């Protein structure tokens, strides 16, 4: 993600997804097993990002936990990759919530303690049996590294060939299994895991959705087609190397409900029976950016907002994947990226409806057996 506050400033869409998951969070807090005696209650946010959305979500959780037991000490582990802007996260924590004891409301003698973990969530993050609520929002669709040329004629899953899609599905299945396996070790019996991640619009239930589904199989499919087409033009004009573009792919995967369930329900899986499924659905959520456009009707402002949102999650990937620092100076690649965004903006402003980007999300809530 683009750091320095950029992600925080351009992630209202991800914030909206957390809002959609509030009933799941509330149910989880109301039914989670609380620790005995002096033991602290531990929450882990897997893939917390720069923190604005994460802190708001955790604040909500802590408030509700305190309603059940106001004397519980609470540990919060904010997990993300080591390259995440953790400085930003802690600066938001202490500026927006100056008294960490009262972060989320004071209560009795209890305190809240914050920790950062800069390790991949495809590894174990916390000690065995130490986590009461694990959550992850808009993060577990990110795969670790994928091989070069995983998607040779596009940059996104939507443009992968059938064979490439099967290969990505295989990588995604292994990583999802690893994610759940580590959580099964960390989360206490009766503990909860709530995951919000990109889903797949091939799910039949979406067709009956409340008019938000625009026919895309994957969130932002049209936007990614547009980006690929503009990048292809920049290759033709020799601003970007054809080889770099061919090697580059956005390492994300959008899961179906069946793919999400498989490691938990397949009798041959080592994880079968480790979690009870409390809730699973794929749904289309409204994009707050597109809603603003529908209210205000300003297609240029919409194009700018959509590009800012896109930059917040894709720019570090584009920079690392498309440019070689020994061949292209930072000033040059910044100019090339600005050109990319300008050309995309022009096209979005002409037909905003084609780029509504209503997110297709998978919501999953589990209880550790």
Ligand X SMILES: C[S@@+](CC[C@H](N)C(=O)[O-])C[C@H]1O[C@@H](n2cnc3c(N)ncnc32)[C@H](O)[C@@H]1O
Binding site for ligand X (CB under 6 A): 1, 11, 14, 18, 47-49, 53-54, 79-81, 84, 120-122, 137-139, 142, 144, 313
Q: Which is nearer to ligand X, 336 or 366 (CB)?
A: 366
CA triple 291-158-334, angle to 5 deg = 75
Q: Which is nearer to ligand X, 15 or 280 (CB)?
A: 15
Q: How far is the CB of 299 from ligand X (least distance, A)?
A: 25
Residue carrying the six token digits 């297709």 = 360
Q: Residue 52: helix, strand or coil by DSSP? A: helix
C-beta nearest to ligand X: residue? 49
As a whole number of angstroms, the distance between CA 27 and CA 23 comes to 6
Q: Which is nearer to ligand X, 49 or 336 (CB)?
A: 49
Q: How far is the CB of 249 from ligand X (least distance, A)?
A: 15
Q: Which is nearer to ligand X, 121 or 275 (CB)?
A: 121
Q: Which is nearer to ligand X, 107 or 138 (CB)?
A: 138
Q: How far is the CB of 104 from ligand X (least distance, A)?
A: 17
Q: How far is the CB of 275 from ligand X (least distance, A)?
A: 20
Q: Residue 27: helix, strand or coil by DSSP? A: helix
- Let me know if 282 is exposed, middle or buried by CB neighbors in 10 A (0-12, 13-18, 19+): buried
Strand partners, 368: 275
Do 232 and 239 touch, CB atoms closer than 8 A? Answer: no
Across the beta sheet with 131-137, the strand order is: 112-117, 74-79, 41-46, 131-137, 187-198, 360-368, 275-284
As a whole number of angstroms, the distance between CA 209 and CA 182 comes to 34
Q: How far is the CB of 125 from ligand X (least distance, A)?
A: 8
Q: Which is nearer to ligand X, 51 or 159 (CB)?
A: 51
CA triple 366-139-227, angle to 5 deg = 140
Q: How far is the CB of 369 from ligand X (least distance, A)?
A: 25
HSE-up (13 A, CA, CB side) for residue 14? 28
First to last CA, the chain: 34
Q: Residue 13: helix, strand or coil by DSSP? A: helix
Strand partners, 193: 134, 366
Q: How far is the CB of 146 from ligand X (least distance, A)?
A: 12
Q: Which is nearer to ligand X, 81 or 262 (CB)?
A: 81
Q: How far is the CB of 47 from ligand X (least distance, A)?
A: 3
Q: Which is nearer to ligand X, 65 or 89 (CB)?
A: 89
Do 47 and 139 touch, CB atoms closer than 8 A? Answer: yes
């Amino acid at each position: 993600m683009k750091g320095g506050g950029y992600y925080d400033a351009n992630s209202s869409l991800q914030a909206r997804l957390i809002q959609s998951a509030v009933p799941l969070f509330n149910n989880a807090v109301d039914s989670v097993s609380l620790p005995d005696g002096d033991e602290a209650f531990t929450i882990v946010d897997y893939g917390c990002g720069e923190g604005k959305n994460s802190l708001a979500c955790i604040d909500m959780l802590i408030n509700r936990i305190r309603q059940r037991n106001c004397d519980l000490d609470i540990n919060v582990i904010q997990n993300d990759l080591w390259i995440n802007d953790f400085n930003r996260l802690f600066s938001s924590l202490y500026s927006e919530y100056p008294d960490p004891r009262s972060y989320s409301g004071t209560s009795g003698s209890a305190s809240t303690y914050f920790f950062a973990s800069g390790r991949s969530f495809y590894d174990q993050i916390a000690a065995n049996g130490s986590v009461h609520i694990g959550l992850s929002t808009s993060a577990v669709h990110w795969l670790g590294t994928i091989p070069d040329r995983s998607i040779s004629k596009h940059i996104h899953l939507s443009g992968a060939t059938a064979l490439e899609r099967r290969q990505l599905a295989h990588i995604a299945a292994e990583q999802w299994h690893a994610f759940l396996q580590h959580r099964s070790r960390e989360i206490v019996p009766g503990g909860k895991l709530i995951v919000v991640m990109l889903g797949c619009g091939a799910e039949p239930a979406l067709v009956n959705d409340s008019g938000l589904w625009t026919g895309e199989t994957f969130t932002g499919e049209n936007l990614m087609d547009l980006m690929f087409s503009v990048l292809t033009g920049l290759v033709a004009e020799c601003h970007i190397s054809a080889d770099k573009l061919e090697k580059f792919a956005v390492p994300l995967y959008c899961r179906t409900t069946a793919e999400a369930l498989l490691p938990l329900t397949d009798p041959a899986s080592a994880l079968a029976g480790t979690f009870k499924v409390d809730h699973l659905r794929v749904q289309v959520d409204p994009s707050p950016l597109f809603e603003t456009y529908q209210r205000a009707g300003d297609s240029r402002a919409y194009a700018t907002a959509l590009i800012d949102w896109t930059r917040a999650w894709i720019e570090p990937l584009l920079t690392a994947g498309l440019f070689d620092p020994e061949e292209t100076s930072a000033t040059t690649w910044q100019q090339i990226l600005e050109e990319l965004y300008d050309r995309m903006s022009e096209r979005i402003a002409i037909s905003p409806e084609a780029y509504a980007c209503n997110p297709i999300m998978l919501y999953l809530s589990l209880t550790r057996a």
